[in-house]
Amino acid sequence: MIMELYQAYIQTPLGITAIKGNEHGLTSVSVGDDKNLVPTEVFPDSLATAAIQLQEYFAGKRTTFELQLNIRGTDFQKSVWQELLHIPYGKTISYLELARRLGDVKSIRAAAAANGQNPFWIVVPCHRVIGSDGSLTGYAGGLWRKKWLLEHESPYKQQALFA
């Protein structure tokens, strides 16, 4: 039985976000720079909750997501993505720490590669993984988006220096 795949688009501060899924849950959430995409006006029922929760996240009203995910990937990828869900809002870990949490520090490259293959932008917070030296390394959506997301989630908001 083939399930119909739905998709919708929302405008975010970081570009148009594509939400895809079916009755079994979301299959992907991604952001891009395609200027030809326009936000969806009427959302399929299976995607409406995701659109609302993403908008709440960007408005600063949501720190966790409560969405059904239809995750497809290798067992290792799934274990990495599951571990990412344990990184609290406003916190970061290193790729080395991610590998440690997976039980094998030697898996750091594989963990980083799986992190980069995460199909659920923001919902599975791959942006919260940084270099051991605190650097913003590797991000499929562009480092400027990773920086924006980490600043958005930071408990220490920059105050204006000049009025």
Which residues carry out catalysis? 126
Contacts of 3 (CB under 8 A, 6+ apart): 22, 23, 24
β-bridge partners, 19: 8, 29
What CA–CA distance (Å, rounded) separates 102 from 42? 40
What CA–CA distance (Å, rounded) separates 78 from 111? 10
Give the angle 24-25-28 at the CA atoms, nearest 5°: 130
